[in-house]
Amino acid sequence: MAGKQSPSKAWILADGFDLASYKPKGSEIEDLSLMEKTHGLGDDAEADSPIGLRSLNFAVNGGFFDTASNSAHDALKTPASSPQGTPRVVCVGFAGQVLAEEFRGISGVFQLDYKVIANLTELTKANARYAVAGKVEPGQIIQPLATKTADWNTKALSTPVDHTLFTSQRVIPITSNSQANPTVITTPVPHGLTTGQKIFISGVAGSSPTINGERTATVISALTFSVAVDTSAGSAGTGGSFVLGSTVNGGAGYLQVKTSSGFTNFVAKLQDSDDDVTYADLITFADNVVAPFAERKTVAGTIDRWTAVDGNVTGTGSLQVFVGLSRF
């Protein structure tokens, strides 16, 4: 999961096109917070302040120019015709197509520059540069890119994704929990929780009974919340931390289909569960079998701890599909 990564694990899917398949020599995501100089007369140092806007750029460099159907040229040749043009949907990862690993979802991507480079004694290459009229959204891979030939469900395949194990999410430290019913937890930084939100606590020492494990938070203040554990006859605890189980601000699902043949219908659904037993539909992507294609679709409200993909096809065929989820 977390740690240093090799370039061999990088991948790029744009509107269902596999840009890594034409062997680019590099890719970049640049996410800038725009600043304004705010120092003035009498100041002895420069000062910069954010203005609340971000500049996002994405580039793919040095790939082999290939005019075969659904290859590099098809993926890169069409720029946006206007600000109202159809945005591209891009998913990028730097740690491989690995279940529950981090990826970046990018929507509202508009091509600015497509440059074909021909040099003597070399294969022709191409560079593409994009501007992004939207957010770069970190998320988890729920279905790594794979070939499917029949209906499938990642829960039934024992590969649902547990958000508490997502190494890229923020870890909130705990100062202590009180000897009380219910016990009150204090954090040294704002916890950012909403009442009813599920969290996973670990590493708390001394609390009797323990508060470690999955708990439901009741917010008291920005730095305190309670969980339904009675420590009044036991003891308080110190230390530890928690991560989110459920999230409450909605999210975006990303679907990329690289190839599709034979099927007359394909519908993918993102599902969630608070107990890893009963799953409910969270996002339903459009029915589509014309590959390559991609879709980004949002959902509001709570997303539970566990997520899975339910894929449903009609007829006989095969497709290569990727699904990811970004929680807001």
Same domain, 103 and 27: yes
CATH number of the domain to which 221 belongs: 2.40.30.180
Would 43 be classed as within a structural domain? no
Q: Record the tokens describing residue 180, joined without a space.
A: 């009380």
Same domain, 202 and 149: no
The pLDDT tens digits of the residues spanning 206-257 come to 999 999 999 999 999 999 999 999 999 999 999 999 999 999 999 999 999 9
Same domain, 203 and 221: yes
Would 124 be classed as within a structural domain? yes
- What total number of domains does the chain contain? 3
Ranking 23-27, 35-39, 53-57, 296-300 by mean pLDDT, the lowest is 53-57
For position 112, what pLDDT does the model report? 67
Q: How far apart are CA 109 and CA 128, in angstroms?
A: 12
Residues spanned by the domain of 199: 175-239
| Closest to 62 (Cα-Cα) out of 130, 125, 128 | 125
Instruction: Provide the residue count of the chain.
Output: 328
Exposure on the CB side of residue 8, measured as CA atoms within 13 A: 0
Would 2 be classed as within a structural domain? no
Output Rg (C-alpha) for the chain, integer angstroms.
23
Same domain, 23 and 93: yes
Would 40 be classed as within a structural domain? no
DSSP 97-129: S-TT-EEEEEEEEEEEEEEEE--TTS--EEEEE
Q: Record the tokens describing residue 160, joined without a space.
A: 């649902």
